Every structure is written in structure tokens, then in C-alpha cells.
Amino acid sequence: MKKNVISTCCVMFSAVTLCAAVPQLKGSAEAAGSMGLTVRTPTGSQMVQALTPKAQQWRFRRGGENWTETHYDVREIWLGHERGAEWKDRRGNRLVLAKPTAFCPALDKEHAKKEDIVAAMDESAEAFKEPTDETLARWAGEFSGKDLGSSALAPDDVSPLASVRLVDLGSDSRCAALFKVASGSWYYVQFDLAQAVKPKERETLLRQFLKSVGVDKTKPAGGGIVMEGRWMTVDVPGYRFKTDLSRSQGLAFIKNAGRLMEAMQAAYRRYVPPQKDLGVSTVRVFATREGYNEYMKGATGESGDRSIGLWSPSHEELLILDMGNSARNETLKTMRHEAFHQYLFYATGNGRHATWFNEGHACFFENISYDAKKNSVRIWDDPKDRRPAAVARDPERYARLVKEILFLSHEEFYEGTLQEVNDRYAAAWAVVYFLEKGAPSFKEFSGYSGVLPAYLAAVKDGKSAQEATRIAWEGVAQRNFVGDFVKFWNKRNAARRYEP
């Protein structure tokens, strides 16, 4: 009797396991981002925000001219252009929806300027106005990463769609279809399943999805707001905010943070004049630690457990975790810090700055007094802040530490204990404060006024971070920096009033 019970239990367990491998679709359809469709998605799934395409900075020199170009992975740009929306459930099942509009460009290199990639895609766009099965099969193969022929497409009649082609991807854990809606546009759906599923069950899943496809009749959010699933995009002067905060919370956050960052960018410009056009900076604000950590892992390969903000130069996004009303000042302080890294990247077209200069200025802009009526800021050294307090206790020690950090690489700057790293941050802040506030405020320190401009000029000329630092400081090499720094710190109050 016991054997029969055990056997029955095993059979039931196997059936449950097999069933669990097939994602169930939600009872009602939802808007598929900006694709103009409504679809049923896997139960418990959430729309996934695709990572911003990864950028690489390429420096060129020809004759006496130096310039920087931003290059992107050709396939990554193409996939981002074709992919419309993506969902993922807790078991790892993914649903991807795309719209075929162009072939992946066959350029002679894997990375190229975005405009060159787009131009190459435009050349093949004509073939998608009335695509043949061969065209669709080639596109589906490029999108899925499989070498497909037109024989991989099987016609299928699924009402109310105008036409359907089931796509054989040759995998037990993937299934896909191409479908045409009444308007004449073709779309592509692909399920990437967490477990292998029988062919019949894959077809059933596809047909259930295809029968759910409808036209999105939802009115646009309006007011410059673009909704994509739970994510909202709002443009303000100089910035594009993306957030999954609720509509009311998100709009309130963006209204306040947007005005502040407009004022902060004016301050960045005053102290570090831009060498090129800034364009629009993207800020992605997360409502939850879970969402922030997951996106961080995809963007950087590391968890975000130890941070609430990060500038990701490779993806050209400022990532911020909103800590809520009780810690809003901490959120905005982190945003001001990370936004300077973002500003410097665009203002100079260079992502390889000396760490003392980059981190020193980012810390410099953390503490401000904000005039909401004038929407302007003043930079000051809050005596309650840990860095000014630490330097004030022993300015001579930090003056000597400044000389140690000037030529540290990014990796060397962050080596050692947490206290050692915090001390380097304080030293970087202190030297920038001295150069930005002290040198212009006191005649006896005016000889240091050329350090920062000389550094920026050397970077613009294509010099490395270390070489630019050497050039910047060689003009004051004969001065007693430790003595000057200590002297300044003992009477720095007058420098607080200085703004360029």
C-alpha cells in the first residue's frame, strides 16, 4: 500500500513539474509599451526595461587634431531598435515582442557610430514594406541568433490576425511566431522558457498568445509623459527622467529634482566650463531596491546593495534609488554627486579623467544652498558634513594626502579599507575646494588659479589623466603646497562667499 501511495505521489509531482514549465498567461491583456498592441503576458510577469545600449569612447588623433567618437555594438543598437517590449516572470520565463523593420547591418566592424548603424538599417527598410517569407525568415534568424531558412516558417490561421507564421527555432525551451495585424504591420513574438517544454505545449502557448493580440486604444498620457508598462518618461530642461515610481510620486519627484538639476547643471558649467555640447542626460529613478539591484547587475555585472546611485558611462545613464520622503535629501545629494560625473563625461567627451579631479568635484557639488525662487545654487562647505569636519581637524595631514592621491589610478584610489577610501575622498574634495574657492578668493593663493584650467586643456589635447595632472601642477611645483593649504584652511570662511 505504501508503495502505491509513493508511486502515485511521484506521478502527481511529475505532472505538476511539467505543467509548471509552461507559463500561464494573464486573464486580461495589457498595453505592449509603445507598440500599439495589447497582449496577454505570463502570469506574475513584469515588463523589463531594456538596458540602454553600451557606449564606447574612441579617441582619434590626426595631424594636430584630436577628437572623440562614441561607438556602439552594431547588433545591440539593432536589437534595441527592433525590440518593442519584454516581460519576465519570477521563474525566469521571458516574453519578447518585436517589430521587423530592418536587417541587422553587415558593417565591416562590430562597433560603429550610431548614425552609421541607423543609416545602414535604413537601407534595408524598403524590404519590410511588403516582406516575403524569405525576408521574414532571415530577420527572425538574425533576431533569434539562429540560421533560419524560409522552411522554418509554418503558416497558421489564428483569428483575428491577418496572417501568422510559426517559427521553428529548433529548441525545446524557445518558441516564436511572426504575425500580421489588420493594419498590415508585421510583429514577432518569442518565448524564452525557463525549462524545456513539449512541442505541442509550445504551440498551444503561442496560439493562446496570438489569440489575445489586440489594438491598444489607450489614450496617450499627454503632458509630455510617455508610459511604457509601469515606467514613465518625462523630459525637463537638460534631462530625461525615467521612473517606475507611481504616477503621482514620479511627477512630484521629477518636478522638484528636475528644477534642482537644471540649477546644478548651471553650477557645473560655471566651475567646469563645457568643451562641447551636452545634449540631454538620462536619469533613471527606481522605486524599489530590488529593481535597482537587478538593473545594476545587468548594467555593471555587480549588485547595487552598497549604493543608492551610480553614473554608468558605458550605458550613459545616471541610476538613482529613491529612498522615499524621509531620506529625500540623501537621494538628491547622491544625485548631485553622480550627475557631475555624467556632466563631465558629456562636457569633455572623455570618460577617463583623473580620479582626484572627478571625485573631488563630485563631492564638491554635494553640499549646496538652494534658492527655489531663483532656481539657483551656491556651493559651500557644510561644517557638519564629515569631510570638512575631518579636514578641519588636521589640515596638514590632508594636505600631504592630497599629494599622494594626485597620481593614483581609479583602481588605486579605491584600494584598502573603507576608512582609507573615505580619507581619499575627503582629500580629493579638499583640494578641489581649495582650487575652486581658495585660489580665487585670496591673492596669496592666486598662483594656483591656473591648475584646473591647465588640467582641462591638457585633457582636451588628448593627454592621459596622469599626464594632464602633471602638466596642471608643474606650474606650482616650487610652492609649498602643504603650507599654503594649511594657511588657507585656517581662514577659509572668506572663501565660502566666492562664486565664479
Burial label for 264, CB within 10 Å (0-12, 13-18, 19+), is buried
Output Rg (C-alpha) for the chain, integer angstroms: 28
Whole-angstrom distance between the N-terminal and C-terminal Cα of the chain? 89
Distant-in-sequence, close-in-space partners of 346: CB < 8 Å, separation ≥ 6: 274, 276, 278, 279, 281
Q: Which class for 11: exposed (0-12), middle (13-18), buried (19 or more C-beta within 10 A)? A: exposed
Predicted confidence (pLDDT) at residue 468 exceeds the cutoff of 70: yes
Locate 336 and state its grid cell.
548631485
Residue 16: predicted pLDDT: 41
The whole-chain average pLDDT of the chain stands at 90
Instruction: Tell me what pLDDT residue 382 has.
Output: 82
7-16, 139-148, 153-162: which range is least confident on average? 7-16
The DSSP H or E segment spanning 469 is: helix 465-474
Res 5 pLDDT > 70: no
The residue with cell 525590440 is 83
pLDDT of residue 305: 78
Are 495 and 442 in contact by the 8 Å Cβ rule? The answer is: yes
Between 90 and 495, the more confident residue is 90
pLDDT, average across residues 243-255: 94
Q: Check residue 7 and give its pLDDT.
A: 41
**Contact assessment for residue 152 and residue 130, using Cβ atoms and an 8 Å cutoff:** no
Q: Which long-range contacts (CB under 8 A, 24 or more apart) does 337-341 make?
A: 337/309, 337/362, 337/363, 337/365, 337/366, 338/309, 338/310, 338/311, 338/362, 339/261, 339/264, 339/265, 339/268, 339/281, 339/283, 339/311, 339/365, 340/268, 340/364, 340/365, 341/311, 341/313
Residues 30 and 39: their CA atoms lie apart, in Å, by 6
Handedness of CA 83, 85, 90, 94 (dihedral sign): negative
Mean pLDDT of 256-271: 96
What does the pLDDT look like over 477-489, one tens digit per residue? 999 999 999 999 9
pLDDT the model gives residue 20? 55
Looking at residue 190, its pLDDT comes to 98
DSSP 177-214: EEEE-TTS-EEEEEEE-SS---HHHHHHHHHHHHHH-E
Q: How much is the pLDDT for 6?
A: 40
Q: In the chain, list all ranges with CATH 3.40.30.160.
A: 218-348
Q: What does the pLDDT look like over 293-352, one tens digit per residue?
A: 988 888 888 877 788 999 998 888 999 999 988 898 999 999 999 999 999 999 998 888
Task: Classify strands 174-180 and 83-88 as parallel, antiparallel or unpaired.
Answer: unpaired
Question: How does pLDDT run across 227-240, given as a tens digit for each residue?
Answer: 887 899 999 999 99
Encode pLDDT of 97-115 as tens digits.
Answer: 999 999 999 998 899 999 9
According to the CATH classification, is domain 218-348 in 3.40.30.160?
yes
Q: What does the pLDDT read at residue 14?
A: 39
Q: Compute the distance between CA of residue 272 and CA of residue 456 in angstroms, rounded to an integer.
A: 9
Say whether pTM exceeds 0.75. yes
Q: What letter represents residue 447's amino acid?
A: G
Neighbours of 219 (CB within 10 A): 6
Query: For residues 101 and 131, what is the distance between their CA atoms, to the nearest angstrom?
Result: 10
| 221, three cell numbers | 498620457
Residue of 456, 453, 422 whose CA lies nearest to 435: 453
- Checking phi first, is residue 499 left (phi over 0); if not, alpha (psi -120 to 50) or beta? beta
Which pLDDT tens digit goes with each residue over 157-188?
887 899 999 999 999 999 999 999 999 999 99
Q: Which residues pair with 309 in a beta bridge?
A: 320
